[in-house]
Amino acid sequence: MFRPTAIRRIAATASRMNSQTIQSPQILDHALEISSAQKIAERGFIDAIGKTPLIRLNRLSAETSCTILGKAEFQNPGGSIKDRAALYVVLAAEKASLLSAGGTVVEGTAGNTGIGLAHVCRAKGYKCVIYMPNTQSQGKIDLLRLLGAEVHPVPAVPFDNPENYNHQAKRHAEHLENAVWTNQFDNTANRQAHIETTGPEIWAQTQGRIDAFTCSTGTAGTLAGVTRFLKEKSGGTVKSFLADPPGSVLYSYISSGGKLEDRSGSSITEGIGQGRVTDNLKPDIDLLDGALHISDEKSIEMVYRCLDEEGLYLGASSCLNVVAAKEVAEKLGPGHTVVTMLCDGAYRYADRLFSRKWLEEKKLLTAIPKHLEKYIVLP
């Protein structure tokens, strides 16, 4: 039994705690300001897409004497940046009267666009069919099926092969009534999503105080759309850089002025890297100020660094972007602000990225600093 004096002390302590805020009033007011700006997602899932925060990467900012910011696209309701493109390609199909109630959306995707489309289709009442390379993680395939999508994993072959997953998706849609192949790689509604939403969000969040933007590309919708908006809004002062993994042609293509297309090697990253210049990229490729080649060793090290130093559980493509942002900051010098995209979290890749066996198979174990090996928790 508690004595009356003990009870009074507990009550007094609780009262003092309730009268003191844990965070400063300024921080709480800022949080309320953000919540108020976001309002209610009146149309449900689709209105929750976008409006993601910019996160300051403190350790890397301190190392470079710059401000390095990552746009937290993993906070989209479908878990990735691809929710934006998924919504816009469906809206474009509706606007063009290519899709009506009860219709079917068909896409070829390496993963996250398919997940975004599956969510959007569920929210809007459409069927969803996905063709994807059979090299993608089982977790992505399982999630697509859990979301009600019909999934066809097919052999991974180059784009110029008629059995490429994109061409198979197109043929599938052509044989259905009231169906559309959303064609994410060359459908410029993808790029438009980032001209209308991502780019303006970055400009508003930084209050126009941004010196450079960098990200990797698969379809190139994000890179092209954000670059186009920031270049026009800033009068050309914001620099933009492509970040490219091994196995992609774009680094060599941009670095050589379009004269060389070297596609050597392969990468652990999923959904980025490209063997051609897509229609999303073509209008804006000349706006780019350069390109960076980011090795898998650097990307996997940054996966572990972001977890340990920033508390951010990010996928490999996000961390490739972070490496690129750090290198751009070092290139520009102290005092600059660099923005990149944190495309998605590590949840869909954990069975690989934190597996000792997988890291050994990919010859990446030695890329993990010794003090970070504690995060390798899977056999």
Query: What domains can be seen in the chain, in order of their start residue?
Result: 47-75+189-375 (3.40.50.1100), 101-177 (3.40.50.1100)
Return the active site residues: 82
Chain-wide mean pLDDT for the chain?
91
pLDDT greater than 70 at residue 157: yes
pLDDT one-digit tens code per residue, 215-250: 999 999 999 999 999 999 999 999 999 999 888 889
133 bridge partner residues = 154
pTM: 0.90
Three-state secondary structure along the chain?
CCCHHHHHHHHHHHHHHHHCCCCCHHHHHHHHHHHHHHCCCCCHHHHHCCCCCEEECHHHHHHHCCEEEEEEHHHCCCCECHHHHHHHHHHHHHHCCCCCCCCEEEEECCCHHHHHHHHHHHHHCCEEEEEEECCCCHHHHHHHHHCCCEEEEECCCCCCCCCCHHHHHHHHHHCCCCEEECCCCCCCHHHHHHHHHHHHHHHHHCCCCCCEEEECCCCCHHHHHHHHHHHHHHCCCCEEEEEECCCCCHHHHHHCCCCCCCCCCCCCCCCCCCCCCCCCCHHHHHHCCEEEECCHHHHHHHHHHHHHHHCCCECHHHHHHHHHHHHHHHHHCCCCEEEEEECEECCCCHHHHCEHHHHHHCCCHHHCCHHHHHHCCEC
pLDDT one-digit tens code per residue, 33-50: 666 666 788 888 999 999
pLDDT one-digit tens code per residue, 255-280: 888 776 666 678 878 777 888 889 99
Residue closest to 260 by CA, chosen among 273, 248, 245, 243 = 248
